[in-house]
Amino acid sequence: MLMDEYRKGWALRYLREAMDEIKIAKRDSRALDLALDALRKAQKAVYYSLGEPLFIERIVEEALEETLPSKNPILKCLVEIERTIKMLESMPDNQRSSAIIVKESDKIVSVASKIVDLLISED
């Protein structure tokens, strides 16, 4: 997959910011909003590494609305990330859910990092 320097730069920037925000959220339980911001930034990093982010986002939203599961493994992964983000964003704000949000956010940022690294290494 050919990725231009513009998209590559934005993907790496969003990923770097997501990783920094997760580190802060792990250290400070009051920084829960940073964990949620990190999720969206990690997601944007993946979208930039795949193509035009608005186009990818629209495809994911359409797939999310369909009742039939996607047969495309990449789209399936993107839909699961979106579902998880929406679920985490809707969790109540208490100590127990904060720990879950940070833990799951860390996992998603890690997966996003691997996806972006894979796509960048193919250049």
List pLDDT tens digits, range 106-115: 999 999 999 9
Query: In this prediction, what percent of the chain has a pLDDT beyond 70?
Result: 93
- Say if pTM beats, i.e. exceeds, 0.85: yes
List pLDDT tens digits, range 3-17: 789 999 999 999 999
Whose tokens are 């990690």? That residue is 42
Amino acid in the structure at residue 82: E
For residue 54, with 0-12 CB atoms within 10 Å meaning exposed, 13-18 middle and 19 or more buried, which class applies? exposed
Annotate 59-70 with b (16+ C-beta within 10 A) or e (fewer).
bbeebeeeeeeb
pLDDT grade, residue 19 (50/70/90)?
Answer: very high
**Domains of the chain: which residue ranges?**
5-121
